[in-house]
Amino acid sequence: MINQKKVTVGIFTLLRIVVGWHFLYEGVVKLFNPNWSSASYLMESKWLFSGFFHWLIGNSTALQVVDFLNIVGLIIIGSCLFIGLFTRVASFSGALLLMLYYIANPPFITTSLPSTSHFYIINYNLIEAVVLAAVATFPKDYLWSIQRLIISYHAKRKDQKFPSSDNHKILETTDNTRRELIKNLAVLPLFGAVFFGMAKKRGWISYEEKNLSSKTDAVSSPSLTLGNVLSVKELKGKVPSGKIKDITLSRIMIGGNLISGFAHARDLIYVSTWLKKYFTDEKVIETLWLCEACGINTAVFRCDDNTIRMLGKYWKRGGNVQWLAQTYPKGDDLTNVKTAIDHGAIGAFVMGNIADQIVFDNKIDDLIKPIEFIRSQGLITGVAAHSIMVPKACVENGIKPDFYMKTFHSNKYWSATPVDPNDPYLPKQGKEHNISNDNIWCMSDKVTADFFKENTTPWIAYKVLAAGAIKPEDGFRHAFESGADFACVGMFDFQVVENANIAFNILNSVLKRERKWYA
């Protein structure tokens, strides 16, 4: 006949061991993964306490403490649950930790985390928290465990100290104690065998496997990692800033081409489609949170419905990265400029291609109107350009924007279109940018740098990496040493921390810069 109590004890003991193993595995994996950080998981938070979670990301010391406590907590709770020691305390602690995970990323709010663990309202974190809450209600000696073995041992010592006169009872007690010992110690060889299997799987036994393992990462619960990419806890310092009028801007800004899917990928015509699939609203928001944590406080985005929707969601969740809007005025039609102003832009500028065309067509009034209108609305105002003829035309016609955006990079990369350096304006062709087969955006960096040496208007350099053809450490240094006050660069989320570190190092080093800082 089935003993109902033994079945119940066996089932809940198994549940406790399984949940304990999950905790222990998560903790050990994080411990041996130097790239792991809770930043990516906290960054996804958009419910209760999201502001506090996002603050943790921006505070490297606090983030390191959270990561340490997370790893230690998982290992201790997992070990106690697995072998059955301090079961009630471990169960309550584990349930509390899981509920914190749940609050940070509830499954009823859109998330970019893997959907396999999210089932609307219910997810793995909630399920395991309920299991642990149930386990915590059992008496401490109810389930098979090391703790129960210890209690039995002390009970036996007590019986030996005060023996019973019934020998049959003594023999029965001894026999039961042996059975209890076997039941409660059964978890130890299981623990050893499973740990050995995990160690083998993770490559902690084989040097070759360890090398291979370092190239991969576990993704489960709050374990989201990005391969060997730098995490926020490895940030060397926040990106320095400057000012245009009364607006504080980070020295490097995130550009919007990648996010909008406008990839200058040369002959790789499918890259733009990939980018649009990758940069979902949630991925954009995650990227902006990373920028904010690194001190990158400004995004240079197009003025369109897609941008307005994404920024609206981001700001609603407490985001603080500000929007410098790329606008598209058409003669007297300033509708697009007004849209940027109405939706929270701190500044706006005329798009480079449009400004180029205006200057080439000698319609200077079409440049003056949007600049004056933007300034009249209290925003900082600027002009972007691919051609150096645009800022030259502004100077010649007395146009005084608050800043220029001008493409700037060297042509020392293999795919750069050959250009005669003695003819940087290419006047016969007119639109010199368009003859370069979409792989060069600054016809002569020397001509550009020479112009700004004599100009005191703040300069935001863009296309500084020539669409990925130039390394950030080279492109950033070249821009800042040549006189740029700021640099705008397109970034994937996994590049943000590294780029911030590069900019921090460069801007805190000795720069061979002749031009004064004008911001």
Closest by CA to 301, choosing from 32, 488, 103, 470, is 488
Residues 6+ apart with CB under 8 A from 457: 391, 400, 401, 402, 403, 404, 518
Give the burial class of 95: count Cβ atoms within 10 A of its Cβ; 0-12 exposed, 13-18 middle, 19 or more buried: buried
Mean pLDDT of the 291-301 span: 94
The C-alpha angle 4, 7, 11, rounded to 5 degrees, equals: 140
pLDDT reported for residue 127: 86
Confidence of residue 216 (pLDDT cuts 50, 70, 90): very low
Q: 3-state DSSP call for residue 457?
A: coil
SS3 call for 118: strand
In tens, the pLDDT along 16-27 reads: 888 889 999 999
pLDDT at 391: 96
Main-chain dihedrals φ then ψ at residue 381, nearest 5 degrees: -130, 145
**Helix, strand, or coil here: 486?**
strand
The pLDDT of residue 59 is above 80 = no
462 compared with 134, residue with greater pLDDT: 462
Average pLDDT estimate for 279-303: 92
Instruction: Take residue 208 and report the two structure tokens written for it.
Output: 């070759």
At 93 the three-state DSSP class reads: helix
Rounded Cα gap, residues 492 and 275, in angstroms:
10
Q: What is the mean pLDDT of residues 26-42?
A: 83
Cα–Cα distance for residue pair 496/498, rounded to 1 Å: 6
Give the residue, 172 or 288, on which the prediction is more confident: 288
Q: Which range, 112-116, 149-153, 261-265, 377-381, is most confident? A: 377-381
State the pLDDT at residue 184. Answer: 52
> What are 247's strand-pairing partners?
244
Judged against a pLDDT cut of 90, whether residue 135 lies above it is answered with no
Poorest-confidence range of 163-167, 214-218, 344-348? 214-218
Residue whose tokens read 């003859």: 435
* Mean predicted confidence (pLDDT) in 296-322: 93
Q: What mean pLDDT comes out for the span 500-511?
A: 95
| pLDDT given for residue 343 in this prediction | 96
Q: Which pLDDT band holds residue 441 (cuts at 50, 70, 90)?
A: confident
Which pLDDT value is given to residue 473? 95
User: Is-contact 472 235, C-beta < 8 A?
Assistant: no
Out of 28-37, 220-229, 423-432, give the one with best mean pLDDT. 28-37
Residues above pLDDT 70, as percent of the chain = 75
Instruction: Indicate if the pLDDT at residue 42 is higher than 70.
Output: yes
Residue 355 has a pLDDT of 94
Distance CA 152, CA 158 (A): 10
pLDDT at 224 exceeding the cut of 60: no
Identify the band that residue 33 occupies on the pLDDT scale cut at 50, 70 and 90.
Answer: confident
Query: Does the pLDDT of residue 217 top 50, yes or no?
Result: no
Give the Cα separation of 293 and 285 in Å (integer). 12
Phi, psi (rounded to 5 degrees) for 127: -60, -50
Residue 197 has pLDDT above 70, yes or no: no
Q: What is the pLDDT of residue 245?
A: 95
User: Which residues, 6+ apart, have CB-to-CB distance to 72 below 8 Å?
Assistant: 27
Instruction: Please state the rounded mean pLDDT for residues 343-370.
Output: 94
**Average confidence score pLDDT of the chain:** 80
Token pair 């996804």 is at which residue? 44
Bridge partner residues of 322 (DSSP): 298
Whole-number Å distance between alpha carbons of 461 and 450: 14
* Spatial distance between the Cα atoms of 425 and 67, rounded to a whole number of angstroms: 54
What's the token pair of residue 140? 């401490």
Q: Are strands 122-123 and 118-119 parallel, antiparallel or unpaired?
A: antiparallel
Mean pLDDT of 314-329: 93
Structure-block tokens of residue 78: 């997992």
HSE value, Cβ hemisphere, 13 Å, CA-based, for 338: 6
What digits encode the pLDDT tens for the residues 198-212? 554 544 444 334 443
Q: Across residues 259-269, what is the average pLDDT? A: 81
Taking residues 4-10, what's their average pLDDT? Answer: 74
CA pair distance 390, 377, nearest whole angstrom? 24
Helices 4-31 and 124-136 meet at what angle, rounded to 10? 130
- 460 bridge partner residues: 405, 486
Spatial distance between the Cα atoms of 402 and 381, rounded to a whole number of angstroms: 5
Of 42-46, 113-117, 317-321, 455-459, the poorest mean pLDDT is in 113-117
C-alpha closest to that of 70 among 48, 53, 51: 53
Q: pLDDT per residue over 388-436, tens digit each? A: 999 999 999 999 999 999 999 998 888 876 555 455 554 444 445 555 5
Short-list 388, 487, 409, 385, CA closest to 417: 409
Q: Could you tell me the two tokens for 239?
A: 């990106």
The mean-pLDDT minimum among 172-186, 378-392, 410-424, 434-448 falls in 172-186
494: Cα within 13 Å, side-chain hemisphere: 9
- pLDDT at residue 222, rounded to an integer: 52
Give me the pLDDT at residue 474, please: 95
pTM over 0.75: no
Q: What is the pLDDT of residue 430?
A: 44
Whole-Å CA distances, 186 to 7, 111, 146, 181: 16, 41, 9, 8
For the record, the structure tokens of 7 come out as: 């079945």
Burial of 239 (0-12, 13-18, 19+ CB in 10 A): buried
Question: pLDDT higher for 491 or 211?
Answer: 491
Position 244 pLDDT exceeds 90: yes
Q: What is the mean pLDDT of residues 306-327?
A: 92
Picking from 497, 468, 491, the residue whose alpha carbon sits closest to that of residue 239 is 497
Q: Which residue has the higher pLDDT, 420 or 187?
A: 420
Contacts of 159 (CB under 8 A, 6+ apart): 170, 173
Helix (H) or strand (E) holding 245: none
CB-based contact 65:42 (threshold 8 Å): no
Of 443, 503, 452, 496, nearest to 255 by C-alpha is 496
The reported pLDDT for the residue numbered 116 is 46
Query: Which burial class, exposed, middle or buried, applies to 503 when counting CB atoms under 10 A from its CB (0-12, 13-18, 19+)?
Result: buried
Phi and psi of 511, rounded to 5°? Answer: -95, 140
Indicate the pLDDT class of residue 262, thresholds 50, 70 and 90: confident
